[in-house]
Amino acid sequence: MIDLQQAGAGLGGYALLAAQAESLFADERDFIANAAQFSALLFNELPDLNWAGFYLNRNEELVLGPFQGQVACVRIPFSKGVCGAAARTRETQRVEDVHAFPGHIACDSASNSELVVPLVKDGRLIGVLDLDSPKVGRFSEDDQAGIERLADIFLRLSDC
């Protein structure tokens, strides 16, 4: 596990993860294979996560994709939850306390904070990358910038 604090106060650790992601996706373009690998990388390298994975846009509804963690909600409408808000607005959602988020969907009652990055390629919403934590306030601005950078690498190197 990368110690993000030790690796340079946040973004330095994400630079290491970016290099790992570039290498991981260098010889593979399959979206599902890369999404599975990316979920495992994030889940195992970032501290204080209890879920990391993808929801894919299927006819204006998010459908569960590759992930690491507890079993999850299978379908999420764009009108509900943090993931739905990210899909609907196409803006990253960083929520310190999901229980205070209007319309929050409790797929895992242990989740207390969430970071959801919309995945947009060539103007199309592919889906969202969802990270959950049992720790309230787990995700900082540095985390958001780092995960958005990693998501960009994933999209650039994956066929979707």
Whole-model pTM? 0.92
Tens digit of each residue's pLDDT (9 = 90 or more) over 114-138: 999 999 999 999 999 999 999 999 9
Mean pLDDT of 25-33: 96
> From CA 109, how far away is CA 65, in angstroms rounded?
20
Q: Percent of the chain scored above 90 by pLDDT?
A: 86
Largest CA distance in the chain: 43
pLDDT of 77 strictly over 90: yes
CA nearest neighbour of 46 among 129, 159, 155, 160: 129
**DSSP-derived secondary structure for 32-83:** HHHHHHHHHHHHHHSTT-SEEEEEEESSSEEEEEEEEES---SEEETTSHHH
